Chains A and B, each alone.
Chain A
Amino acid sequence: MRLDDGLLGLLLTVIAVAIVMHAQTFPRLAFMQFGPSLFPTILGVGLGGCGVALMIQSAIRRFAGRGGPWIDLDPWARSARGLLGIALFLAAIVVYGLVLPRLGYHLTTAPVLLVLLLWMRVRWWLALLVALGVTLFTHQLFAVWLRVPLPWGLLEPVAW
């Protein structure tokens, strides 16, 4: 999804104003004119400047009659499969983060991986094989060799 420079500029400016305003609530050093807010304020002003510059840029282009659409959708963003693919991969990350501590590493990783592989049109037996293989391998790598305490979750009783 491509936004016109004017919209991007507006977005940046709004964010920048919010940052600068929020930064003004930071405490100051008792004996100084400045404090923790100084640096973020400078950066916020810089970001806002970039936003305004983008808006000017867009305005000049539109004035010259060469403005594009405000929102330009790539082919992928118009195809259901492209959009759903992005949504599915993002959802997979969210689900993974939410479920991992409860179900445990194996019971989260293998199903999430299987679903994504099937979405990518990998043949079911290969998908199953890869999902199981990668789950066991990454567990060996991180939990056993690198001693990262990956959660066991429901599999706690059979932990090896």
Chain B
Amino acid sequence: MPEALVGAIALVFDWQVLAVILMAAFYGAFVGSVPGLTATMSVALLVPLTFFMDPVPAIAAIVTTTATAIFAGDIPGALLRIPGTPASAAYVGEAYAMTQKGQAELALGTSLVTAVIGGLIGTVVLMLVAPELARFAIQFSSVEYFWLASLGLTCAVLISGGSVAKSLASLMIGLLIATIGIDVAVGYPRFTFGQIELLDGVSFIPAMIGMFAVAEILRNVARGPRVGRPKDQNLAAVFKGLGQVLSNFRWGVLRGSALGSVVGALPGAGADIAAWISYTLAKRFSKTPEKFGTGHPEGIAEAGASNNAAVAGAWTPALCFGIPGDTVTAIAIGILFLKGLQPGPLVFTQQPDLVYAVFVAFMVANLVLLPVGFIAIRSARYVLKVPASVLMPVILVFCMVGAFAMTNSVFAIWIMLALGVLAFFMEENGFPVAPAILGIVLGPMVEDNFMVTMLKYQGDLTGFFDRPIATVLGVFTLTVWTLLLLRYLNEQRAHRPSKGSLHAPR
């Protein structure tokens, strides 16, 4: 393991990789600062570039972009009361209240430093937990993987925040999209309708660009960009008075970091949900809960640490099982697949350098976040003036070129268009998109392992409960399914109007 770590450090501390990290940090800070552009969208737009990189800089770029974008989302949150990314939504009211009291510096300083702390703690948790989990996962066979992927997908449905029927439908749509193309068992082209370009399945990157970027652009065009002008605030002394805040709320920051690491690891739950839970916990355990909402940094400190810890937490299941913890890691896994790397326990033994490179990249990304975040706060006044009217058309061009670049054919643009319209329509009607994304990524894995198991046991369904770990996972999955059914029945009894997704994709 130490050699792997040394090797990984050598891989990351290459000037090209460091340059990529620095550029990704500024890029993430910019995208995160612009309201309406989410962290997932920033990664989706970055993907065509990472496709042409080696695996380590590609992963470093994704990791850095997410970490900085999640923090930078706090900037318009504090200055304009508009969260830059959904992960900041939990405490945007609080941060804005501080700004109105003339404490914008303290609010942003708190969220920056706690983001760094949360990110670093999340990374340490990832480093400690992932290798152990991987060692455990090495004995898994197709049955365990089938259940594990099913469990992940069902959890995504459970957590996604939409009504049960709509979240589940979203998952089914994603899984069905994944069945397009040559099938694994006999090589029969399914749902291709004679299109040769569909034989390989729906190309993943154009699909992601469509579902995140194009859908988001359409929403912005339809609704009109949300505008606001920041009040002129002093943003120079970002770190003033911060020591006091941090020492007062140190346990909250630790609790937020720990919770974020765990919540991030749950498939489908990412930084936004972690932030909501942490903000609520901070209020519940606070000595002065009455101060919440009036511009009190306690909740910002805890939730700010939590959402950045979740960014690292999401990589735990991604690295150990190849099951993404959120939409960003779903994209990252897709990229690794394209590079011929299959995330899972074998990577830990066969390419430990790569795994440790992810850890080191996380460390570096969170350290770089401190200066870059500082610069982002200082330059917020100018970034927030970049009009969405210019950005939206430009981003659309990047989407189209990016999609085209993946396959060198116009067909990718059609896929992007089709899935962009689908995602737009789904979100308009309260279908959360995250389960569909996970379905597209995990679909082949679920089906492969399902078919292998079916063939192995000659169609005997008891085979799915033939091994101890598989039985545990299977029972667990079935329990979550029952929970979903109960919740669906409960939704009917409560006559709760299905309001749709609480959590937009990040």
Which chain A residues have a beta carbon within 8 Å of chain B's beta carbons? 1-3, 5, 8-9, 12, 19, 22-23, 26-27, 29, 32-36, 38-40, 43-44, 46-47, 49-51, 53-54, 56-57, 60-61, 64, 66, 68, 74, 76-77, 82, 85-86, 89-90, 92-94, 96-98, 100-101, 109, 112-113, 116-117, 120-122, 126, 130, 134-135, 138, 141-142, 146-150
A59 nearest in chain B by CB position: B492
The reply to whether A112 and B165 contact each other, CB–CB distance below 8 Å, is no
A140 CB to nearest chain B CB (Å): 12
Cα of A5 to Cα of B416 in the assembled complex, Å = 26
Stretch among B9-17, B94-102, B407-415 lining the A interface? B407-415
Q: Tell me if B405 and A54 are in contact (CB < 8 A).
A: no
Give the docked Cα–Cα distance between A138 and B421 (Å): 24
Q: Which residues of A contact B416 (CB under 8 A)?
A: 93
Residues of B within 8 A of A142 (CB): 48, 401, 405
Do A113 and B166 touch (CB < 8 A)? no
B428 located at the interface, meaning its Cβ lies under 8 Å from any Cβ of chain A in the complex: yes
Within 8 A of A (CB), among B156-200: 163-166, 168-169, 172-173, 175-176, 179, 183, 185-186, 188, 190-191
Beyond the given A47-B169, A50-B172, A146-B52, please list 8 additional residue pairs across the A-B interface where CB-CB is below 8 A: A1-B428, A27-B186, A33-B459, A36-B190, A100-B410, A142-B401, A148-B408, A150-B401
Of B223, B400, B414, B421, the most chain A CB neighbours within 10 A belong to B400
Closest Cβ of chain A: how far from B391's Cβ, in Å? 9
Among B106-114, B125-133, B296-304, B448-456, which stretch is in contact with chain A? B448-456
**A89–B217 touching, CB < 8 Å:** yes
CB atoms of B400 and A96 under 8 A apart: yes
Indicate if the CB atoms of A97 and B410 lie closer than 8 Å: yes
- B393 pairs with A120, CB closer than 8 A: yes
B468 within 8 A of A: no
State how many angstroms separate the Cβ of B494 from the closest Cβ of chain A: 11
Of the A-B pairs whose beta carbons lie under 8 Å apart in the complex, a sample of 20, sorted by A's number, is: A8-B429, A39-B450, A40-B176, A43-B179, A49-B168, A50-B169, A54-B165, A56-B492, A57-B491, A57-B498, A66-B497, A93-B416, A93-B420, A113-B393, A120-B392, A126-B390, A130-B390, A138-B401, A150-B401, A150-B405
**Given known A8-B429, A50-B169, A120-B393, contact A36–B191 (CB-CB < 8 A):** no
CA distance A101 to B413 in the complex (A): 12
Give the total of B residues in contact with A, Cβ under 8 Å: 65
Interface residues in B41-66 (C-beta closer than 8 Å to A) = 48-49, 52
Chain A's closest residue to B175 (CB) is A43
B176 in contact with A47 (CB, 8 Å): yes
Number of A-B contacts (CB under 8 A): 173
Complex formed: what's the CA distance from A28 to B132 in Å? 41
> Chain A nearest CB: distance from B104 CB in Å?
29
Per-position contact with A for B385-403: 1 when CB-CB < 8 Å, else 0? 0010110111011101100
Residue B337 interfacial (CB < 8 Å): no
Beta-carbon contact of A27 and B221 below 8 Å = no
B218 near A: Cβ within 8 Å? yes
CA distance A2 to B221 in the complex (A): 17
CA distance A12 to B222 in the complex (A): 25
Question: Which residues of chain B in 450-506 are interfacial with respect to chain A, using CB atoms and an 8 Å cutoff?
Answer: 450-451, 454-455, 458-459, 488, 491-492, 495, 497-498
Decide if B321 is an interface residue (CB 8 Å cutoff).
no
Q: Is the CB of B454 within 8 A of A134?
A: no
Contact B417 A93 (CB under 8 A): yes
Is the pair A86, B169 in contact by a Cβ cutoff of 8 Å? no
Known: A61-B495, A85-B222, A93-B416. A32 touches B389 (CB 8 A): no
Task: Give the distance to chain B from A118, nearest Cβ to Cβ, in Å.
Answer: 9
Q: CA–CA, A3 to B175, complex, Å?
A: 23
Across the interface, do A60 and B393 meet the contact criterion of CB distance under 8 Å? no
Query: How many angstroms between the C-alpha atoms of A86 and B49 in the bound complex?
Result: 27
The winner among A2, A8, A134 for most chain B CB atoms within 10 A is: A8
The distance in angstroms between the C-alpha atoms of A34 and B49, with both chains bound, is: 41
B2 an interface residue at 8 Å Cβ cutoff? no
Complex: chain B residue closest to A3, CB-CB:
B429
